[in-house]
Amino acid sequence: MAWKTLDDMDLKGKVVLIRVDINVPVENGRVTDATRIEKIVPTVADVVSRGGKPVLLAHLDRPKGKVVPEMSLRQVLPALKSALAGRRVLFADDCIGAPAKQAVAAMERGDVLLLENTRFHPGEEKNDPMMAASLAALGDIYVNDAFSAAHRAHASTEGIARLLPACAGRLMQAELKALEAALGKPVRPVVAVVGGAKVSTKLDLLGNLVGKVEHLVIGGGMANTFLVAQGLEVGRSLAERDMAETARGILAKARAAGCTIHLPADVVIAREFKAQAANEVVAATACPPDAMILDAGPQAVANIARVFETCRTLIWNGPLGAFELEPFDAATNAAARKAAELTAAGKLVSVAGGGDTVAALNKAGAASGFSYISTAGGAFLEWMEGKALPGVEALNQ
Ligand code: 3PG
Ligand code: MG
């Protein structure tokens, strides 16, 4: 890895600008899930213990270059204080200019400073050099700990990294290490599980994966599109019929690359899209015209378990069925638990991330059994697509 880490930096007496991703859900002014806040604690603690003064740069939501009070990071302050128990946490009403400079000057040893939402300035998302320079002027060293925002080439994630001595924070390091182990230089064979509703949103991802993994398990609504592509009827199931040709292209590419694609041999069908809807298991070749496929069936789950057993590395994105509606979470739960069991036995390295995935694995009670769960959504997907992430690239110099 070409980027530096905190171990390579002399932080003593330095103002250390740390880009974090604390883009957490906020309801009525309160943080409802502090996971992303807890994840930045090791980096902040490390900077303090090496005598540096941590100044946090972050965004919240998408204010689009304007000051939107409902998107103020001030709302995150109580949760940040409790995560950094015992530390004084200061706040500045602007991330650049006089308010920010004064707040930095007021910091005492051991203090942490959070600056207001970087996206309140239009220059942030434009990666405006002036904005990057204004941010850089506040400190001596730049640490990027926001892997989950690294797919954005913004002033606080990309531009600034070119203006100051820069390195990866502990969370960024952990993410990159886990992802490297899953797709960069994995122990083979590798199985990828890709689920979710639509093939159209995951085309690049599937195209990249078939060239990199030995087994690809396709689930969720996406699997229906592949069944249609093979000439099967899927009744009223969610499926993108206009993507059939594209799906056939992916199947052909996989064959050429020696990647085995696993589609469900049996499926769970229902007539209504709701929890506890009356349901039955049928062969994937026998979906009635008035039914919809809401989950993979027991044979499909058994096949997935067998594939997991033959593999050494698993990368997972997206649920296998309509996991938010019981009992159509069964396949996702069973496969997730199998992955956790093999991981615990030291037989599998398992990495998961992206959007609904973490929610689905948490619901299965299996998330803590995975080797690594990424907190990233869009960045995890772009990385799975094989794209370079600007925030990571900017550290590579
Ligand atoms: C995220 O929540 O995935 C990151 O914080 C990036 O947010 P964005 O999608 O608004 O750029
Ligand atoms: Mg988002």
User: How is 338-390 classified by DSSP, letter by letter?
Assistant: HHHHHHHTTS-EEEE-STHHHHHHHHTT-GGGSSEE---SHHHHHHHTTPPPH
What is the longest distance spanned by two Cα atoms in the chain? Answer: 70
Alpha-carbon distance 156 to 59, whole Å? 9
What pTM was computed for the model? Answer: 0.92
Residue 2: what pLDDT?
A: 80
Query: How far apart are the CA of 47 and the centre of ligand 1, in A?
Result: 25
- Whether the pLDDT of residue 372 is over 70: the answer is yes
Q: Is 152 in the pocket of ligand 1 (CB under 6 A)?
A: yes
Q: Is-catalytic flag, 126?
A: no
Residue 276 C-beta-side C-alpha neighbours within 13 Å:
0
Residue 167: what pLDDT?
A: 98
Which runs of E-coded beta strand occur in the chain?
Answer: 15-19, 26-27, 30-31, 53-57, 89-92, 112-115, 141-144, 166-168, 190-194, 215-218, 260-262, 266-270, 279-283, 292-296, 313-317, 349-352, 372-373
Q: Is-catalytic flag, 195?
A: no
Query: pLDDT by residue (tens digit) across 269-298?
Result: 999 999 999 999 999 999 999 999 999 999
Q: How confident is the model at residue 1 (pLDDT cuts 50, 70, 90)?
A: low
How far, rounded to the nearest angstrom, does the alpha carbon of residue 250 sit from its chain's CA centroid?
A: 24
Residue 197: what pLDDT?
A: 86
Closest among 120, 172, 99, 177 to 142, alpha carbons compared: 172
For the purposes of burial, counting CB atoms within 10 Å of the CB of 102, is it exposed (0-12), middle (13-18) or buried (19 or more)? exposed
Are the C-beta atoms of residues 89 and 112 closer than 8 Å to each other? yes
Query: pLDDT by residue (tens digit) across 191-240?
Result: 999 998 888 889 889 999 999 999 999 999 999 999 999 999 999 999 99
Give me the chain's average pLDDT, please. 96
Torsion, Cα of 151, 153, 158, 162 (10° steps): 130
Query: How far apart are the CA of 149 and the centre of ligand 2, in A?
Result: 9
- Whether the pLDDT of residue 36 is over 80: the answer is yes
Alpha-carbon distance 204 to 207, whole Å? 5
* Average pLDDT estimate for 355-377: 90
Query: pLDDT by residue (tens digit) across 388-397?
Result: 999 999 998 7
Residue 354: what pLDDT?
A: 87
Q: Is-catalytic flag, 378?
A: yes
Q: Is-catalytic flag, 36?
A: yes
Closest among 253, 163, 172 to 209, alpha carbons compared: 253
Nearest residue CA, atom 3 of ligand 1? Answer: 377
For residue 345, what are its two tokens?
């036995």
Ligand 1 atom closest to Cα of residue 62: 10
Question: Poorest-confidence range of 63-67, 166-170, 375-379?
Answer: 375-379
Alpha-carbon distance 311 to 380, whole Å? 22
* Average pLDDT estimate for 45-72: 98
Alpha-carbon distance 70 to 26, whole Å? 9
C-beta atoms surrounding 45 within 10 Å? 15
pLDDT-above-70 percentage for the chain? 100
